Amino acid sequence: MSRVGRVRRRGSRPRGTGRIGRLLTVLHDDLWTWRADPLPPSVWLRWFPHGVVCLAALGVLLGDAAQLSDNGGVEPGLGFVIALSQAGAMVGALWRPVASWWLSLAAMLVGAFAVRAEMIVDGAKFTWPWPAAGIIGHMFVLLLLSLRVRTRVSMEALGLTALATYLVQGVVGAPNYQPTGQLAVILFAVVVVLGTALRGRREARAELVQQTSLTAEERARRTVLEERSRIARELHDVRVLVLTTFDLDEYVYEALVAGASGFLLKDASADQLAEAVRVVAAGDALLAPGVTRRLITEFSRMRDRPRTPLKERVGDLTERETEVLALIAQGLSNAEIAGRLVVAEQTVKTHVGRILVKLGLRDRTQAAVYAYECGLVRPSGY
């Protein structure tokens, strides 16, 4: 045999084997877990559903123990342990639904084989493999499971429950019993569908609340911008310093265009806020350090856009005024510009005033924005 033939034989495997392996991997990842997933309190009923489950678990404990011992012939101690496991699975499903599902299924299997061992051909028929109390308990567990896990996991748990029921009742069987497997699986499917629907409704409501909250924030943001624009139009001697939680580039740009002289985020310290008030009141501009770089970067991306109208307006400035505008855009104060150009600070103030009048701008902040928009200044590295 050639080496190629050996490789082909060794490397080939039935397609079904791979699919089964992937299925087992998915089941292992979804159902073989001890992960906690507590049931949150109800909005209106608070902890009332938890109390209902605990009360139902007490009823299942007493009923299942009596059924197994009195009707099924199981030794009372073993019957109580099985019933306690079923009731414990109901309560545990409030916090760890997947692990509790395993416990409930195991309690059914142990109880079914314990009752089967006591059956006689001519004796009384016992509801098997699921006793009535066991069906109720497992319904609670599956409902609590489907309320908090993905639909796929709920369907996997339902499918394995149905498979276990079929194997016990249909394959193993018993000499004398009243079958409950079909009824149990139907009821289990109903509660899984119900729990999945309730979970989908809750998630949809939470998504709607989140979208409504975002919409309300957007409306508040727009209202602030409109009010700031009104102040800029009607109160020309008022300086606006924005203090906000919206660290969004669009919000920063719209605030500056609307006439804000400064922009700070609410995580700024008290000293930074006080300094910003003094700077804005003096007629200068101030931006939060984290905002400045992003704003400059955004303006740099505009360099390929047509700016003919803006450039024509810049052409109305004198050579000295154009130079002053470029230095304003670089963040220099009047004193620093005066030192750079070797002129008096009062002369710089005069140039700044003329620039604002000729370009129809409100303050130095808008002048800096204008310089980047028209391409007069570009960030270093671009």
Q: Where do the structural domains in the chain lie, given as residue ranges?
A: 22-208, 228-297, 305-373
Residue 358 pLDDT > 80, yes or no? yes
pLDDT of residue 90: 96
Residue 308 pLDDT > 60, yes or no? no
pLDDT of residue 110: 96
Residue 293 pLDDT > 80, yes or no? no
Residue 264 pLDDT > 90, yes or no? no
Residue 218 pLDDT > 50, yes or no? yes
Residue 54 pLDDT > 90, yes or no? yes
Q: Which CATH class is domain 305-373?
A: mainly alpha
Tell me the percentage of the chain whose pLDDT exceeds 70. Answer: 76
Between 330 and 27, the more confident residue is 27
Residue 188 pLDDT > 80, yes or no? yes
Read off the pLDDT band of 15 (50, 70, 90).
very low
The CATH architecture of the domain made up of 228-297 is 3-Layer(aba) Sandwich (3.40)
- What average pLDDT does the segment 158-180 reach? 94
Please state which of the ranges 21-30, 105-114, 275-284 shows the lowest mean pLDDT.
275-284
Single-letter residue type at 90? M
Residue 304 pLDDT > 80, yes or no? no
Between 358 and 193, the more confident residue is 193
pLDDT of residue 43: 66
Write out pLDDT tens, residues 173-184. Answer: 998 899 999 999
pLDDT of residue 307: 46
Nearest to 359 by CA among 307, 332, 329, 322: 322
pLDDT of residue 280: 81
pLDDT of residue 267: 78
Please state which of the ranges 109-113, 255-259, 263-267 shows the lowest mean pLDDT.
255-259
pLDDT of residue 10: 43
pLDDT of residue 91: 96
Tell me the percentage of the chain whose pLDDT exceeds 90. Answer: 37
Between 292 and 137, the more confident residue is 137
- What average pLDDT does the segment 132-157 reach? 95
Q: What is the mean pLDDT of the chain?
A: 81
